[in-house]
Chain A
């Protein structure tokens, strides 16, 4: 019996000793990389009041950066780690979730512009994905033999979203901190029906960006995480941006929370990984790095050529209040002409927005980036609070 107790104890200890991917946060968030003049911003009071209001209403931590005609305002409120009572810093590293897709879109066009070295060019946008992916992969995927590379980028492929599959969530619950391989993830849509014929309409699917990552690797012979670092993160000096698990995470990442059991409690779900590092998710960053990326991509236009940008911003069919260009999201189209270019990010315990609103009808251009360490993609008591925060932010910044 002693032996049996010993075996039980050892197996329990073995399981509890596995390392957390996102350990408890430390109080070492980076500093604002420029002389901060937010206190002198004419809307300082309004922006501060806004984030304080929504922190009081329940969002655990918020960092917000707004760039408008008066300059750049940055602020934060709440906690990055509720357990350790660590403040959510203005330059807090937090998960940006699907903003990863915008970076992947930029990477695609950066590689297209360097077609001699990368194996993909503008013509690739119209080629079928079977040009790069082998038959044993495309056969598994609904529309795998008909969808084009471009249709992956603007979500017109009709390929089902693996993140909509119950089996996938059961597997995430079973192995929360598992690092998934692309082929394992594709297994969750194997045998399912296509959502629509390629080009018929547009419906957002995480699987599209997973396949884009696979194609970039096939075409270039390089790991797409290394390509993202080499072509986007490093050249732009995004020093606090990490593409996990290709990059190790620092120890000051914000914890992510969600009311998983719908009983008005917040669970720390930081270590529930829904496919980090497979193209559609996995970037952790700060609002300052996101701002720098958006400036280079859309404002100063130093990252890509105008031809590439025009393609990224040529939107197709609408998907609710969103339209998609090649790797770019046009969100809030119900607010036209105040719709934004960029991407939103929603994961189990994290939410983020990164949008640029070009000048229209006398309103100067505005961009904003925010990170919230609460998941708002599923039904919960803070979902409506988050929607109100987003709407109030838009109303305030697009006056």
Chain B
């Protein structure tokens, strides 16, 4: 049996979520924050579109996140995030995203931090261009359909941020994420790479 990339991503996501829940039970680990980020995504070769993400086309999106800390040390944390999002790419697709990331955060003085994260998950793409299929409308050769497709996604993100204490405690962050959607076109374009810029804020959850 061929490994299904979507299935594999789901397994990674579920395993990591399950493990974190188990671990949370054992060590009373709790979700640390909720966040929102606004995104702009470009289809481009990995690391090929950083400046254009600011100056070029806008394919807007929004992502909601939460997460937990696996291991906390004075200078660094091992972290996991859980993200759900939406993005819109004109003429191509609406995307609904569900993914998780495991990452390393290094803490600098004065509340600054830098992090790197690896992730995987699921994307539901709804085609935005008019789509037609044969034999779906009486009297017409082709009928209009709403076409949705399932994909796996994998991501690698690098971010920086700063912890703010007043007037409200929060983290402001910016992340440059490389993401692949797979398969884009079955056996033809197996991977579609994206460059994504995320700017957002996370608020601590008080327990």
Chain A contacts to B: CB under 8 angstroms: 4, 7-8, 11-12, 14-16, 18, 55-56, 58, 60, 78-79, 82-83, 85, 166-167, 170-171, 173-178, 255, 257, 260-269, 271-272, 379
A16-B90, A174-B42 known, 12 other contacts, Cβ within 8 Å: A60-B141, A82-B130, A82-B141, A173-B43, A174-B49, A178-B57, A257-B132, A262-B186, A266-B131, A266-B132, A267-B127, A267-B132
* A-chain residues with CB within 8 Å of residue B168 when the two chains form the complex: none
**Docked complex Cα distance between A271 and B89 (Å):** 13
Q: Contacts A173-B43, A177-B91 known; A82 to B132 CB distance under 8 Å?
A: yes
B124 within 8 A of A: no
* B-chain residues with CB within 8 Å of residue A178 when the two chains form the complex: 57
**Docked complex Cα distance between A95 and B133 (Å):** 22
**Docked complex Cα distance between A263 and B141 (Å):** 17
Chain B contacts to A: CB under 8 angstroms: 36, 38, 42-45, 48-49, 56-60, 62, 88, 90-92, 127, 129-134, 140-142, 144-145, 147, 149, 185-188, 192-193
* B-chain residues with CB within 8 Å of residue A4 when the two chains form the complex: 36
Q: Contacts A82-B142, A167-B45 known; A15 to B91 CB distance under 8 Å?
A: no
> What 8 A-B pairs are tightest by C-beta distance, nearest first?
A268-B130, A176-B91, A174-B43, A266-B132, A11-B60, A173-B43, A170-B43, A82-B142
**Docked complex Cα distance between A178 and B192 (Å):** 19
Are the CB atoms of A260 and B141 closer together than 8 Å? no
Are the CB atoms of B57 and A12 closer together than 8 Å? no
Contact partner of B60 (CB less than 8 A), chosen from A12, A260, A379, is A12
**Docked complex Cα distance between A257 and B141 (Å):** 14
**Docked complex Cα distance between A21 and B130 (Å):** 15
Return the chain B residue nearest A83 by Cβ.
B130
Say how far A156's CB is from chain B's closest CB, in angstroms.
30
**Docked complex Cα distance between A85 and B132 (Å):** 12
Are the CB atoms of B92 and A266 closer together than 8 Å? no
Contact partner of A170 (CB less than 8 A), chosen from B127, B145, B187, B193, is B193
Are the CB atoms of A15 and B133 closer together than 8 Å? no
Contact partner of B133 (CB less than 8 A), chosen from A85, A266, A268, is A266
**Docked complex Cα distance between A78 and B141 (Å):** 9
Say how far B92's CB is from chain A's closest CB, in angstroms.
6
* B-chain residues with CB within 8 Å of residue A14 when the two chains form the complex: 58
Q: Which of B130, B144, B185 has the most CB of A within 10 A?
A: B130
Return the chain A residue nearest B127 by Cβ.
A267
**Docked complex Cα distance between A269 and B186 (Å):** 18
Say how far B43's CB is from chain A's closest CB, in angstroms.
4
Are the CB atoms of B185 and A15 closer together than 8 Å? no
**Docked complex Cα distance between A16 and B131 (Å):** 18
Say how far B60's CB is from chain A's closest CB, in angstroms.
5
Contact partner of B130 (CB less than 8 A), chosen from A12, A15, A56, A267, is A267
Contact partner of A263 (CB less than 8 A), chosen from B48, B90, B144, B186, is B186
* A-chain residues with CB within 8 Å of residue B38 when the two chains form the complex: 7-8
Return the chain B residue nearest A5 by Cβ.
B62
* A-chain residues with CB within 8 Å of residue B90 when the two chains form the complex: 15-16, 18, 176
Return the chain B residue nearest A56 by Cβ.
B141
* A-chain residues with CB within 8 Å of residue B36 when the two chains form the complex: 4
Return the chain A residue nearest B87 by Cβ.
A12
Q: Contacts A170-B43, A261-B185, A379-B188 known; A8 to B133 CB distance under 8 Å?
A: no
